[in-house]
Chain A
């Protein structure tokens, strides 16, 4: 059974640009969550999608957005990049939504560097 796949794995952008990250969940998983990981801050929740609908959103500015497609694949977009957006962006999938309903399966992440 294939795991969660995130692309691209590494990317470098400059301030002001935008970036789109992609996540393919485990087959059969309909819930996809996104987290930002930075040293010292741990994993911070960005948003969760279930059945193409944003179910929950973390405390991030509107420059961070996402969507989910009918095949459960998800994308997140960051516009007008800032230096502080440099981070590892992790996608996680699960069978059903909600923080307390069971295991999240994480991908290996997309490491974004903003210069």
Chain B
């Protein structure tokens, strides 16, 4: 009930391509869905977040797509750059605590 399932575990994309990471949840009480980006040796940092009253949120090259009925949400990185190479975590929460997915290691090659 409390899990957030994330896929793929790793992703290799060519520079300029689109990176897509998917997450699924079961708890319908979740009402906040952030994505965090983590570089090696650093702590995760908030990238973008969405609440279930909208189906999409875009910030620059990063877009969250949210499907409430399917209980799924995804991160799209357009025009992927080598500097985007990092580990990405989706997360979901209610008023209780933030539950993270297992992470996706993205590598963008020039």
Residues of A that sit less than 8 Å from B by CB: 4, 33, 35, 40-45, 48, 56, 58, 90, 92, 98-101, 103-109
Contacts of A105 in B (CB 8 A): 45
Query: Does A108 lie within 8 Å of B41, measured CB to CB?
Result: yes
Q: Within the assembled complex, what's the spacing in Å between the Cα atoms of A42 and B40?
A: 14
Contacts of B61 in A (CB 8 A): none
Number of residue pairs spanning A and B whose beta carbons lie under 8 angstroms apart: 65
Q: Tell me the chain B residues, 4-62 only, with Cβ under 8 Å from chain A.
A: 6, 9, 30-32, 34, 36, 41-46, 49
Min CB gap A91→B, angstroms: 8
8 Å CB contact of B97 from A40, A45, A103, A107: A45
Report how many residues on chain B are interfacial, defined by Cβ distance under 8 Å. Answer: 26
Q: Within the assembled complex, what's the spacing in Å between the Cα atoms of A95 and B34?
A: 17
Min CB gap A12→B, angstroms: 18
Query: Does B97 lie within 8 Å of A106, measured CB to CB?
Result: no
Contacts of A99 in B (CB 8 A): 32, 93-99
Min CB gap B87→A, angstroms: 9
Contacts of A41 in B (CB 8 A): 102
Min CB gap A38→B, angstroms: 10
8 Å CB contact of A104 from B9, B98, B102: B98
Contacts of A44 in B (CB 8 A): 100
Can you give 12 A-B contacts (C-beta < 8 A)? Answer: A33-B97, A33-B98, A40-B102, A42-B6, A42-B89, A43-B100, A99-B97, A100-B94, A104-B46, A106-B44, A108-B41, A109-B43
Contacts of A92 in B (CB 8 A): 43
